[in-house]
Amino acid sequence: MFCLYIEELLITPFFLKQLLMCVKICSPSIFYDQNPVSNKTLSYYAVAEASSGKYLASDPGPAKSIKLNASVKKITVKKIGKKRQVRISWKKVKKAKQYIIYRSKKKDSGYVKIKAVKKSASSFTDKKVKKGGTYYYRIVVKLKKGYSGIKTSKAIKVKK
């Protein structure tokens, strides 16, 4: 078992690091950060732990620092009239090449890509929602070099 540490590097006169979280991972040894922070540099590193979890079994591994570009600032979701449709809209991001839209019935997991739209778009209508369902949307901006952080919408419920 190992613990993955995620730290935020804060630029201060004293060069401070803030531990954001420690994630215990047993197997497989892959971690997907479901809520990465945009426009901040985060460092990820792993430390092996004894199976009892009472002490560290290794020194920290080499840290990998990552800075994600800015994500969309705000996502607005609205039900369209009496139709079973949801309009997702956002403010455009400079230098965006594409917006990738994901949908889930859970806030923190289960997201599936539903559409990639052109950089000129600032909204998308989801026509495949079901009566009685509660939905969450995420948008990731594809840039010339890489991707933005993730922005998650508030929940929207499609009435029966």
Q: Which tokens sit at 36?
A: 């990465």
1-42 pLDDT per residue, tens: 555 655 555 544 444 445 555 555 554 555 656 556 666 677
- Provide the pairing of β-strand 156-157 with 123-126: unpaired
88 and 149: one domain?
yes
The answer to whether residues 110 and 104 touch, using CB atoms and an 8 Å cutoff, is yes
For residue 121, the model assigns a pLDDT of 95
Mean pLDDT is lowest, of 1-10, 67-76, 88-97, 121-130, for 1-10
In the predicted model, what is the mean pLDDT of the chain? 77
**CATH number of 90's domain:** 2.60.40.10
144 and 106: one domain?
yes
Domain boundary among 48, 67, 86: 67
Spatial separation of the C-alpha atoms in residues 49 and 90, rounded to whole Å: 43
- Which has more confidence, 84 or 145? 84
The answer to whether residues 23 and 55 touch, using CB atoms and an 8 Å cutoff, is no
For residue 110, the model assigns a pLDDT of 87
82 and 140: one domain?
yes
153 and 82: one domain?
yes
The answer to whether residues 119 and 159 touch, using CB atoms and an 8 Å cutoff, is no
Spatial separation of the C-alpha atoms in residues 34 and 118, rounded to whole Å: 24
55 and 85: one domain?
no
22 and 40: one domain?
yes
DSSP SS3 for 47: strand
Domain boundary among 21, 48, 67: 67
Spatial separation of the C-alpha atoms in residues 23 and 13, rounded to whole Å: 29
87 and 153: one domain?
yes
Q: What domain count does the chain have?
A: 2
* Domain hosting residue 90, numbered range: 75-157
The answer to whether residues 56 and 46 touch, using CB atoms and an 8 Å cutoff, is no
User: Mean pLDDT, to the nearest integer, of 108-116?
Assistant: 90
50-86 pLDDT per residue, tens: 666 665 666 767 777 766 666 788 899 999 877 889 9
